[in-house]
Amino acid sequence: MAYPENLLYSKSHEWTKIEGEEAIIGITSFAQEQLGDITFVELPEVGDTLEVGDEMGSIESVKAASELYIPVSGEVIAINEDLEDAPEKVNESPFEGGWLIKVKLSEEPKGLLSASEYAELVANEAH
C-alpha cells in the first residue's frame, strides 16, 4: 500500500497535509479499510479550537465506531460537508475527496510520522 509522500501521519491513523499556516486532515487508506463501509462521520464545528490529541469527532462504519483525534493544534476553518450525505467518500478517496477538516495552525506540528515511518507502523499493526 502506498502512502502519499507529501503528507504527515499520526499513530492513530490520521493524515495531515500542511499548506503554509493551514492544514487539511483526514484518515488514511489503512484506517478506512480497517473500519469497513463508513456510514457516518461526526466532525467538529467551524470555529472550534482544538489542541493536539483532542477528540475532533467520530467515525462510524457498519461494524464499529471510533473516535477521531486531531494530530495538530489549531482552529477549525472548514469541514467537509459532503460527508454528511456521502460518508462513503472516506472509503472511496481517503486522501482526496474524503478529507475531514481544515484547520488554521496555532503551532508547528510535532511528532508526526513520514510516509515510510507510517508504512512501517502499519506493517507491524497488520501482524
Partner 1 sequence: MPYTPHTAEETQAMLDVIGVRTIEDLFADIPADMRPKSFDLPQGLSEMETCAYFEQLAGKNKTGLVSFLGAGFYNHYIPKAIDNIVGRGEFYTAYTPYQPESSQGTLQAIFEFQTAVCNLLEMDVANASVYDGGTAIFEAMMMAVRAGRKRKKIVIDESVNPIYRVMLDTYTDNIDIDIVVVPHTEGLSNVDALKAAIDADCAAVVVQNPNFFGNVQDFTDLFEHAHANKALGIISVYPVMQSVMKTPGEMGADIAVAEAQSLGQPLSFGGPYLGVMSCTKKMIRQIPGRIVGRTEDVDGKTGYVLTLQAREQHIRRAKATSNICSNQALCALRALIHMSLLGPEGLIRTAELSMERAHYLADRLTMIDGVELLNDAPFGNEFAIRLPINAEEAIEALMDKGFVTGFPAGRYYEGMDNVLLVACTELHSFEQIGVFTELLGGIL
Determine, following the binding rule CB under 8 A, whether residue 60 of this chain makes contact with partner 1. yes
What are the φ/ψ torsions at residue 125 (nearest 5 degrees)? -65, -35
Asked if residues 28 and 3 have their Cβ atoms less than 8 Å apart, the reply is yes
* Nearer of residues 4 and 36 to partner 1, judged by Cβ: 36
Determine, following the binding rule CB under 8 A, whether residue 40 of this chain makes contact with partner 1. yes
C-alpha cell at position 91: 472509503
Q: How far is the CB of 56 from partner 1 (least distance, A)?
A: 12
Residue type present at position 36? G
Q: Which stretch binds partner 1 (CB under 8 A): 15-23, 61-69, 101-109, 115-123?
A: 61-69
* Nearer of residues 63 and 127 to partner 1, judged by Cβ: 63
Can you tell me the distance from the alpha carbon of 79 to that of 93, in angstroms, rounded to the nearest whole number?
16
Count of beta carbons in the 10 Å neighbourhood of residue 104: 14
Determine, following the binding rule CB under 8 A, whether residue 32 of this chain makes contact with partner 1. no
Residue from 21, 67, 81, 120 binding partner 1 (CB under 8 A):
67
